[in-house]
Amino acid sequence: MIEIKNLHATVDGKEILKGIDLTINPGEVHAIMGPNGSGKSTLSYVLAGRDGYEITEGSVSFCGKDLLEMEPEERAAAGLFLAFQYPVEIPGVANTTFLKSALNAIRKQRGEPELDAMQFLKLVREKTKALSMTDEMLKRAVNVGFSGGEKKRNETLQMAVLQPKFAILDETDSGLDIDALKIVAEGVNALRSPERSMLVITHYQRLLDYIVPDHVHVLAFGKIQRSGGKELALELEKNGYAEFGVNEAA
């Protein structure tokens, strides 16, 4: 699905990613754990194509294509989805309008017919129900006045509607209480399938109790320091990141 090779990236001349290697196969869920400042969010932004990051070395191949050559919207159309740590507010734009524009923009790029209002409404209502979201939330402006939990549920809804091949969940657990976390995790788990891969980025092990990964990687100082199965997460929970030379108390 996605193959990251020796990826180096700098922000304002400072190297943040110092040679990431990671391969994710279809259907796999990988978790990247790491302390603050280790480059977790940078990795997600670089993969999604945000401006302001310079790739100095390495390559990323996504479904056989050179991901780094593509515009952010082309990556979205190719099936890459980023669930944001801090979902952005867009005043005056109804959630449904946003979702419909996004879905149809992607369908158009793929050469598929756009959905009309009725078809879209049917689809979105179905998905909304599964996430115990209300129709009222669909009418509200994108993320404006949403609680932390509502914002994350909204990200999950977008993922459910857009049906990506590869989803990156950036600190999806941040700002969620345990009930909200469970709802979001359920939504994400419902989207797991043999064709869909996920990269779950998190600081804490807690999320991984609900979204159980196939592989866990520890990211620190811009490099993957160790990889293992889901038990690695539990070990980190117990011992912290000290083993990797990180003093979290500082």
What is the nearest approach in angstroms of another protein to the Cβ of residue 239? 35
> Which residue in 11, 68, 70, 105 binds another protein (CB under 8 A)?
105
Please report, as residue ranges, which positions from 167 to 206 form the binding site for another protein (by CB under 8 A): none
Report the alpha-carbon distance of residue 241 to residue 90 in Å, rounded. Answer: 37
Other C-beta atoms closer than 10 Å to the C-beta of 65 total 13
Tell me the window of 13-21, 28-36, 44-52, 177-185 that interacts with another protein (CB under 8 A). Answer: 44-52
- Dihedral sign from CA coordinates of 164, 192, 46, 142: positive
> Which residue in 141, 191, 212, 234 binds another protein (CB under 8 A)?
141
Q: Give CB contacts under 8 A, 24+ apart, made by 67-74.
A: 67/2, 72/48, 73/105, 73/109, 74/109
Tell me the window of 15-23, 87-95, 118-126, 172-180 that interacts with another protein (CB under 8 A). Answer: 87-95
> Which residue in 14, 64, 71, 245 binds another protein (CB under 8 A)?
71
Other C-beta atoms closer than 10 Å to the C-beta of 134 total 11
What is the nearest approach in angstroms of another protein to the Cβ of residue 145? 14
Tell me the window of 4-12, 15-23, 62-70, 105-113 that interacts with another protein (CB under 8 A). Answer: 105-113
In Å, how far are 103, 136, 140, 246 from 122, measured between CA atoms?
14, 15, 18, 49
Sort strands 29-33 and 215-220 into parallel, antiparallel or unpaired: parallel
Please report, as residue ranges, which positions from 119 to 138 form the binding site for another protein (by CB under 8 A): none
User: According to the binding rule CB under 8 A, does residue 98 interact with another protein?
Assistant: yes
Report the alpha-carbon distance of residue 76 to residue 70 in Å, rounded. Answer: 10
User: What is the contact surface with another protein in residues (CB under 8 A)?
Assistant: 48-52, 71-73, 75-77, 81-82, 84, 87-93, 97-98, 101-103, 105-106, 109, 141, 158, 162
